[in-house]
Structure formats: C-alpha cells, structure tokens
Amino acid sequence: MRKYNYTGRKKINKEDFVLSMHSISESNNSYFEFEIEESITSLFNPASNLVLEAYHRATFMRFDWGKINNLKPAKDRYLTAFTDPEFIQFRIKIISELGMIEALADQVKPESDREKSYSQGILAVQNTDLEGSIWEIEFDEDDNVNPLLKIDTEIDKNRLNHNIQLKASILPRAFHAILTEILFFSGEAFDFTTEEKDTNWRSRWWLFCEKLDRKLSFDEVSGMTEEDKKAWIDATVAFFSRKMNFKNDLLDSLLDT
C-alpha cells in the first residue's frame, strides 16, 4: 500500500549522509560510522537533536549525536545488542526540544564490509535458540522486511546451502508457510501484484511465483475458496520442489550413505 506523509516531517535522503557498518574480526560484534551533510542539518533549529537508532525487530539501540549546532559522534558505537549484524537497520532522526520528529530516514541499511556475504535474496536466514524446534518462519510487522527463516543455533545456517536433507525438509515447508501467509493473512497489506517489490516482501515473493510461472491476479485470488487456495499452494510448492530437484537429490544422498 502506498504511504503518504501528512506530518510535515522532512525526509533525510540517502545522499545526505554516509552510514557504514564494520565487523570486528574473530567476533560477531560490529560497530558503525556515520556522517551527515551540513547542508541538511543547517535546515533545522540549532537546538534540535540528532539521534541514530539501530534496530532489528524488537531489539533496539540508541545513539545520541548531540545538538545540531554541536554535533558529536556517540563515543560507543558498538552494536552489542544484536546477535546477527546482517539484519540491523537504522533510523536517523532530528528531534525538536519538545520531542517532535522533525526529519527522518528509516529502514536505512548501512554500507557494510561484509556486504558480499549478506543475503540479498527474498528470504533471510538466521541461527537462533528455538527451545527445541528445528526451524521456524517469522513474519515482521514491517511490510518491507523479508520473512525470516530461523534455524536452531546448533545447526549452522550455511548448511542449508549444501545439505540436501536440510534443504529438502525445510525449504518446501517454508515456502508453503510463506504462501499461506500471503494468501490467507495479507488482508489489505497486499494487492497481489509485483508493483511494490521495493517496499513489500509479498510483492517480491509474488515475483518469485511469477518466475515459476505460478501467477495469480487479484481477481483470481478474490474468487478462490479456502480449499482452492490450499490446493494452489500445495501445487505451487510441489512445482517448486520438482524444479529444485529436491526428491532426486535427496534419493541420491540417501543411497550414498
């Protein structure tokens, strides 16, 4: 859904700042560097404050950058609250003395020295403590955040790229869960087109379905019963599994062992 800003709040554009994240070797810890152009800060009240917030889902860290007329980088810029820096996004805020947000950049993904290893796809994967479950899929309330496949901490997520037993048992069911979320629980958040692929994860997955030649229009979805939807999801997942050759690869692997 297209969003409109009626608040009078100004937008801080990408060209107005440089935000980079750096990993520390031999640890999973990261820190960030930030600089903002004076041409943007000079537009605001000198007494307003510049603040950066790093977040991923409900985890959050805040970094005060001082007043507009006396900007000072936060001394400690380590992102210690996050278990996986891959998913961190930032908000950059200019805040009036009364607490109003005067300018904002949200969902900022920092430039990273680990960029190449980051997932650029449509499914994020993370190792996490699942208290006994092997894997789970999680959907964020932010429409732009890709679904997250969480795999138990003791099973290295990178195995998903190489291990056919893991792939064949997890990916089709994960895809099933994602299609179920899209078809049954999207509500008004999705119009069943690929137009909003830059802002809505559902559009990106719909594009993926389109590439699989499994395409449904808004009208087609509207005309489907619950049973129709379930059948379509099952058929699409089966098609995906055939395309990925899961069964044959799995059989080969079982015969090898």
Partner 1 sequence: MKLSKLSKDGINEFIDFIDNINTIEDVERRRQQILNDHSSLVDDIECKPISSSPQSKLEVTKYLFNLLEQSSVSAETDKELWSWLSLYYFDTIHKKNKNNEYTLGEINKWIPNFEDYRKYYRHLLLGPWNIYKQHKGDIDTISGILCGEIHTPGDVYEQLASRQEWITSSQIQKAVTKLYYDHNNMSLKKGSGGKGGGSARRLSDVLKQFNMNYDFYAIKSDDLINLLPKEFDRFKSAY
- Residue 84's closest CA among 106, 113, 59? 59
Burial readout 38-72 (b: 16 or more C-beta within 10 A, e: otherwise): eebbeebeeebbbbbebbbeeeebebebebbeeee
Supply 38's token pair.
Answer: 């004076």
Here's the x/- map for partner 1, 6-25, by CB under 8 A: it reads as -x-x----------------
Determine the interface stretch with partner 1 among 18-26, 93-101, 117-125, 155-163 (rule: CB under 8 A).
93-101
Should residue 29 be labelled a site residue for partner 1 when binding is judged by CB under 8 A? Answer: no
Q: Which is nearer to partner 1, 132 or 187 (CB)?
A: 132
Should residue 134 be labelled a site residue for partner 1 when binding is judged by CB under 8 A? Answer: no
Residues 103 and 87: their CA atoms lie apart, in Å, by 23
Among 49, 146, 203, 236, binds partner 1 (CB under 8 A): 49
Should residue 128 be labelled a site residue for partner 1 when binding is judged by CB under 8 A? Answer: yes
Should residue 100 be labelled a site residue for partner 1 when binding is judged by CB under 8 A? Answer: yes
CB contact set of 221 (below 8 Å; sequence gap of 6+) = 183, 192, 229
To partner 1, the closest distance from the beta carbon of 188 in angstroms equals 17
Determine the interface stretch with partner 1 among 65-73, 94-102, 156-164, 172-180 (rule: CB under 8 A).
94-102
